[in-house]
Chain A
Amino acid sequence: MGRITLKQVTKTFGDVNVIPPLDLEINDGEFVVFVGPSGCGKSTLLRLIAGLEDVTSGVIEIDGTDATHLPPAKRGLAMVFQSYALYPHMSVRKNIAFPLKMAGIDQQAIEEKVTSAAKVLNLTDYLERRPGQLSGGQRQRVAIGRAIVREPEAFLFDEPLSNLDAALRVNMRLEISQLHQDLATTMIYVTHDQVEAMTMADKIVVLQAGIIEQVGSPLELYNSPANQFVAGFIGSPKMNFIGGKTAAEHKAETIGVRPEHFILSDKKSAGAWEARIGVAEHLGSDTFFHVDAGDKGILTVRAIGEMGLRHGDKCWITPDKNRIHRFTADGKTIGK
């Protein structure tokens, strides 16, 4: 079981208040992603849960028991670090066996667990190698192997994919998701990449400056962001924000429309905004046009792959009326 509850947790480093009082509930078996811009306190929060940092005040409960002052090893959590933190002088086998050896498990049982973990992670052929002789993705898998042999209550991942190249990152993303399906263990995953958050999470926690901006499923955050920060952070490319007269027409300080909620056309139609095509980014399946919509500013618009519009052409964009997000002056979402 891996139910983790944070109650009024705070953390200060000297005079700097990194995490103001924070409450969070993580249910058993959930894949929770902490996401936010760098320096938002998401790694600190993970390290507080791991026990690598002491909380300044508040309570951390794991499975209903107070774990606030337990040493990291006693919390039953396993962590995968950004740098993998493999032990360079030990073979892959010894790396994976290390936590079991420290727990004093007998040699035979260790052998079995290491072998089965290696099989799950496709590491059987590399067990006798040193970490230095492995590729980035293999090292990542060894780090995960070292975590799963312990059969922890929950896994903690600290930006585990940021050192991998783009193709491998997509692969490992799938592997970690698959692992979560197979093990059904609680996983807490820290990343600054909203694509990772959207694709993997059951529940996303969006953080900014140590404050939880919103908690919810990926689609909840996408469809009904609680505020302008979440609206801008979730979704790629970013949501377009338009102020001034256009926003006032919708009785808001700012309105937001995602690039995919525009209809781009070369013919004028009712309710369309006139614009001029700027830079186009062709992705094959989609094309992102950066259009100059006069007083509404430069907007990003998604269109199908083949559009036939060129730089400087006049065009008309129509926002989807039901998909316009409205925000107050202090960034709060105005209800429909």
Chain B
Amino acid sequence: MATQHSRSAARFMMAPAVILLLGWMLVPLVMTLFFSFKKYLPLRGDSMANGLEWVGFENYVRFISSSSFWPSISATLIIVGGVLLITVVFGIALALLLDQPMWGQGIVRILVIAPFFVMPTVSALLWKNMFMDPVNGFFAHMLKSVGMQPIEFLSQHSLLSIITIVSWQWLPFATLILLTATQSLDGEQLEAAEMDGASWPSRFIHIILPHLSRAITVVILIQTIFLLGIFAEIFVTTGGAFGTKTLTYLIYQRVLESQNVGLGSAGGVYAIILANIVAIFLMRIVGKNLDA
């Protein structure tokens, strides 16, 4: 089938899509790199038309020497790590529970998946106003009803609160992927292990967990990609205060609140580097699961 002619025709026909995708990725990347080496303060009259001043690595140095930089990196990693931990652990637990035959299984499964369909802004607002509000929130009412002082979640336990909100959103995704993996486990393997004298915990460790390892890898990789860029949840709840300023949020502040496009672009390049470091680590740790 693949003659010389059909192959070059295929290449020719794929070209528009490839060029479009490449342009989509390359143009913003090149522009970010370009701006990161320029002084670009729109409110001070800088503009593309007037020509931008080349400042070398000054933006990079300023971004990294800012007192907010390292805290933002650690906040990012804590949030990503926390959410991954919670979604994977509870995702496995929920997947195993939902795999059991029970009455109303279909409806229960839809309910479990529902949070994933709620937009991030909406779910963050729901949590902020309905649950975590220290005056009107559900938790505050609960605590007050037993005579305790309401907790100001978003200011006192800001990172934990954001991790909770984001985990609530991503748990359905993890559960869904892990549930399908659980369902593909051969029942005879579990029965064989049972005959071999394996108790439930050892069946879980020796049979179920290795079977799920590939799905867990997929969950971790996909979630990390999305979690490094979470924004709406922070914007809506704390606005970056109380130590919840992630790298993404810091870049947003530099570009839009300080109106410093050059500095923000330098931050963007750091974000690309951070994402790649995390990706390499993840691939090293879990990537071997994908080969087998």
Alpha-carbon separation in the docked complex, A150 to B197 (Å):
10
Alpha-carbon separation in the docked complex, A17 to B106 (Å):
28
Q: Is B114 an interface residue (CB 8 A)?
A: no
CB distance from A46 to the nearest CB of B (A): 12
> Which of A59-67, A98-106, A113-121 lies on the face that meets chain B?
A98-106
Alpha-carbon separation in the docked complex, A195 to B189 (Å):
28
Alpha-carbon separation in the docked complex, A192 to B107 (Å):
40
Interface string of A148-162 (1 = CB under 8 A from B): 001000000000000
Which of B194, B196, B202 is within 8 Å of A146, CB to CB? B196
Residue of B nearest to A103 (CB): B197
CB distance from A83 to the nearest CB of B (A): 5
Alpha-carbon separation in the docked complex, A71 to B196 (Å):
11
Q: Which residues of B contact A77 (CB under 8 A)?
A: 195
Q: Which residues of B contact A73 (CB under 8 A)?
A: 194-198
- Asked if residues B191 and A83 are in contact (CB atoms below 8 Å), the reply is no
Interface string of A66-108 (1 = CB under 8 A from B): 0000011100011101110111111000000011001100000
Q: A102-B196, A102-B198, A103-B197 are in contact. Are A85 and B191 (CB under 8 A)?
A: yes
- Asked if residues A52 and B206 are in contact (CB atoms below 8 Å), the reply is no
- Asked if residues B197 and A79 are in contact (CB atoms below 8 Å), the reply is no
Most buried by A among B189, B196, B197, B210: B196
- Asked if residues A87 and B207 are in contact (CB atoms below 8 Å), the reply is yes
Chain A binding site: helix, strand, loop or mixed by DSSP? Answer: loop
CB distance from B157 to the nearest CB of A (A): 40
CB distance from B101 to the nearest CB of A (A): 13
CB distance from B289 to the nearest CB of A (A): 10
- Asked if residues A87 and B188 are in contact (CB atoms below 8 Å), the reply is no
Q: Which residues of B contact A78 (CB under 8 A)?
A: 195
Q: Which residues of A contact B210 (CB under 8 A)?
A: 87, 89
Interface string of A116-135 (1 = CB under 8 A from B): 00000000000000000000
Most buried by A among B188, B198, B199, B207: B188
Q: Which residues of B contact A89 (CB under 8 A)?
A: 210-211, 213, 292
Q: Which residues of A contact B188 (CB under 8 A)?
A: 81-83, 85
Alpha-carbon separation in the docked complex, A89 to B197 (Å):
19
Q: Is B135 an interface residue (CB 8 A)?
A: no
Q: Is A188 an interface residue (CB 8 A)?
A: no
Alpha-carbon separation in the docked complex, A99 to B210 (Å):
17
CB distance from A48 to the nearest CB of B (A): 13
Q: Is B192 an interface residue (CB 8 A)?
A: yes
Q: Is B291 an interface residue (CB 8 A)?
A: no
CB distance from A21 to the nearest CB of B (A): 26
Q: Is A198 an interface residue (CB 8 A)?
A: no
Q: Which residues of A contact B186 (CB under 8 A)?
A: 83, 85
CB distance from A99 to the nearest CB of B (A): 4
CB distance from B17 to the nearest CB of A (A): 36
- Asked if residues B196 and A98 are in contact (CB atoms below 8 Å), the reply is yes
Residue of A nearest to B198 (CB): A102
CB distance from B209 to the nearest CB of A (A): 10
Interface string of B173-187 (1 = CB under 8 A from A): 000000000000010
- Asked if residues B194 and A98 are in contact (CB atoms below 8 Å), the reply is no
Q: Is B193 an interface residue (CB 8 A)?
A: yes
Alpha-carbon separation in the docked complex, A81 to B211 (Å):
19
Alpha-carbon separation in the docked complex, A71 to B199 (Å):
10
- Asked if residues B202 and A102 are in contact (CB atoms below 8 Å), the reply is yes
Complex A-B, nearest 9 residue pairs according to Cβ-Cβ distance, in ascending order: A99-B196, A73-B197, A85-B192, A85-B188, A89-B210, A102-B197, A81-B188, A102-B198, A85-B189
Q: Apart from A83-B188, A89-B210, list 10 A-B contacts with CB within 8 A.
A: A71-B194, A79-B192, A81-B192, A85-B188, A85-B189, A85-B191, A89-B211, A89-B213, A102-B199, A150-B196
A-B contact pairs, 17 of them (CB 8 A): A50-B195, A52-B195, A71-B194, A72-B194, A72-B195, A78-B195, A81-B188, A83-B188, A86-B189, A87-B189, A87-B193, A87-B210, A88-B211, A98-B198, A99-B195, A102-B196, A102-B198
Chain B positions within 8 Å of A, measured between CB atoms, are: 186, 188-189, 191-199, 202, 206-207, 210-211, 213, 292
